[in-house]
């Protein structure tokens, strides 16, 4: 699982039938942008949890679904710039 930020929806009207009517979102993982299937109804600005590989296909609805990144949860509170707790010595 990874934590990413939703940037904006991605509209694609010409898609293969297996994509059904699932929403797609552009997400940012560090400095790279990716496309994720939105299984939970995230909106721009949300921090979300994504799964990849076979877990992404199953989370999107089927093992045969053509996804390699699926949003499975919206994080209630996430501050990526918060200082990390000091490790015990």
pLDDT, one tens digit per residue, over 43-77 is 999 999 999 888 887 787 777 777 889 999 999 98
Does any domain span residue 83?
no
Structural domain boundaries, residue 44 = 2-13+21-74
Any idea what the CATH number is for the domain that residue 28 is in? 2.40.50.220
pLDDT of residue 25: 96
Residue 86 falls within a domain, yes or no?
no
Whether residue 25 is contained in a domain is answered as yes
Into how many domains does the chain fold? 1
At residue 36 the predicted structure's pLDDT band, cuts being 50, 70 and 90, is very high
pLDDT at res. 54: 80
Which whole number is the average pLDDT over 10-38?
85
Joined tokens for residue 73:
């949860």
Please report whether residue 44 resides in a domain.
yes
Is residue 88 one of the residues assigned to a domain? no
pLDDT of residue 18: 66
In a domain, 42, yes or no: yes
Rounded CA separation 70/7 (Å): 15
pLDDT at position 39 over 60: yes
Q: What is the pLDDT of residue 1?
A: 92
Give domain status of residue 9, yes or no: yes
* Residue scoring higher pLDDT (5 or 83): 5
Under 8 Å CB-to-CB from 36, ≥6 apart: which residues? 4, 24, 25, 27, 48, 50, 67, 69, 70, 71
């Amino acid at each position: 699982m990874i934590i990413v930020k939703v940037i904006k929806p991605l509209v694609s009207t010409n898609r293969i039938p297996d994509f059904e009517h699932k929403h797609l979102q552009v997400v940012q993982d560090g400095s790279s942008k990716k496309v994720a299937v939105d299984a939970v109804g995230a909106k721009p600005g949300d921090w979300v949890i994504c799964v990849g590989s076979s877990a992404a296909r199953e989370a999107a609805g089927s093992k045969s679904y053509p996804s390699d990144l699926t949003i499975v949860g919206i994080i209630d509170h996430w501050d990526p710039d918060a200082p990390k707790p000091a490790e015990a010595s």
